[in-house]
Amino acid sequence: MSEEARSLHRSRSVDRLIAFSDGVVAVAVTLLALPLVDLAPKEGESVWTMVVEYRGQIISFLFTFAVVGIMWMAHNRILNGISAFDGAVFWLNTGWLAAIVLLPWVSALYGESEWIGDGPAYPGVGMLYWGVLALISFFGLGISWHLRRKPSLLADPRSAAGRRGEVRGLAFGLYFLVIGIMTLLAPAVAAWLPFGIIVLSIWLGSAFRGRGAEPVEDHPNPTSAEEIS
């Protein structure tokens, strides 16, 4: 058995990597709600007044929760398409998870940042928030890029998942960076740019459907006497 084959993690190791990743994401999205736990109407105040007063935190939570869900779905599609992983996939996935875990903190800062006078309460927090989202996308891009160059790690080497992940990771990563930069240069314009994420997602989905690239289904991880558990 070659040294490269010995360095691969297969079968149950892939299942454990997926389970660990899903667990980290589940904890991260749960923590997103923590800033909302202590919100309550003041005495004599209606709940709708409270919602308006804390709309920044609420919108930030809902938006970030939705974005994480979309990113998790794309990430899960990639991991479900592998039959083995090496050190590069492991560390890129670890970086992806670390950025996901940062989101609750960054999202809370972003939600609390309101315009006061000539600027936000926390200058630069918009760039930080969108920069972390871009980082998550770029880590996903790295995983897809690596898998395309090592098709032996894929359950189906003919799968278009690697290419699809690269395009989506690059497109969303760059778009997130653009929004972050615009929060510094033109905040009024940046406030509308997140709606473009919906358009971008629909466009990318249509582009890959047109090429016949279907989502990767779960593949059973093969097990044999030669594989490393």
Residue 221, domain member (yes or no): no
SS3 229: coil
pTM: 0.79
Rounded to whole angstroms, the Cα distance separating 2 from 75 reads: 29
Given a contact cutoff of 8 angstroms between Cβ atoms, the answer to whether 24 and 100 are in contact is yes
Burial class (CB in 10 A: 0-12, 13-18, 19+), 33: exposed
Structural domain harbouring 127: 3-210
* pLDDT score for 60: 87
Q: What is the DSSP letter of 211?
A: T
pLDDT at 118 over 80: no
- Return the percent helix, strand and coil in the chain, to nearest 5: 70, 5, 25
For residue 139, what are the contacts with CB-CB under 8 A and spacing of at least 6? 92, 93, 95, 96, 99, 169
Q: How far apart are the C-alpha atoms of 227 and 209, rounded to whole Å?
A: 34
Question: Does residue 222 sit within a domain?
Answer: no
% of the chain beyond a pLDDT of 70: 78
pLDDT confidence band for 223 (50 / 70 / 90): very low
- Identify whether 170 is part of a domain: yes
Residue 51 domain-assigned (yes or no): yes
pLDDT at 209: 64
Phi, psi of 28 (to 5 degrees): -65, -45
Answer whether residue 84 is part of any domain.
yes
User: CB atoms < 10 A from the CB of 25, how many?
Assistant: 21
Residue 99 C-alpha from the chain's centroid: 8
| Span of 39-48, 132-141, 177-186 with lowest mean pLDDT | 39-48
Enter the tokens of residue 49. Answer: 């007044």
Q: Quick count: other Cβ atoms within 10 Å of Cβ 185? A: 8
- Contact residues for 91 (Cβ-Cβ < 8 A; gap 6+): none
Does 217 map to a domain?
A: no
Q: Which of 85-89, 185-189, 216-220 has the lowest mean pLDDT?
A: 216-220
Q: Which residues fall within 8 angstroms of residue 174, CB to CB, at 6 or more apart?
A: 134
Alpha-carbon distance of 62 to 155, in angstroms, equals 35
Q: How many domains does the chain have?
A: 1
| Residue 226 within any structural domain of the chain | no
Confidence of residue 102 (pLDDT cuts 50, 70, 90): very high
Q: Is the pLDDT of residue 122 over 80?
A: no
